[in-house]
Amino acid sequence: MESPSFKTAQGSPFSILSTFYKFAAAMLLAGLAFTPSANGGATPAKAGVTTPSAKAKARHWYQVGIASWYGGRFQGRTTAAGETYDMNGLTCAHPTLPMGTWLRVTNLHNRKTAYVRVNDRGPVVDGRIVDLSYAAAHVIGLSGVGRVKLEQVHQDDPALAQALVAQLQMPVLFRPMGMISR
């Protein structure tokens, strides 16, 4: 016995339905190709709308840990950024942040704050997150080592601008022997 062949006639309701299902499947696949999951989760940004990826980028970076300071022994040496180290400047050494990054350093013991710029690599002692210049440590009341919070500050932050103006008016705290003028 031969098996019967099932053929549908052109124009029958079954062929129109089959064509519709094929078209619907093609549209579904095309729609899925353009969804956020297909292109890595990125959605096109619209004016005035905050996207989830924009919120993730706007998260506040901070780090809490032990800080120390370095001073006279390194005065005048070249930093990792190629600058001459000045212990009276408000700078710091951080192991990973890009050179030139601005940080708000807060002494967690007394809540005093200073704004510093990363211009060196360090600290070299395990368990510490930052080495502050002598001046930065003095401003926040850090003698020796202490627990601090580091927060990245963007250059357009008004508080940073005020702190930089105040820094211009800050007296020199310490002059090494070779720098004393008469």
From first to last of the 182 residues of the chain, give the pLDDT tens digit: 555 554 545 555 555 545 555 655 555 445 444 444 443 444 344 444 444 444 445 578 999 999 999 989 999 999 999 999 999 999 999 999 999 999 999 999 999 999 999 999 999 899 999 999 999 999 999 999 999 999 999 878 888 888 777 766 666 665 555 544 43
CA gap 67, 147 in Å, rounded: 6
Q: How far apart are CA 19 and CA 165, in angstroms?
A: 73
Cα–Cα distance measured from residue 143 to residue 28, given in angstroms and rounded to the nearest whole number: 66
Q: Could you tell me whether strands 128-133 and 62-70 are parallel, antiparallel, or unpaired per DSSP bridges? A: parallel
61-172 classified as CATH 2.40.40.10: yes
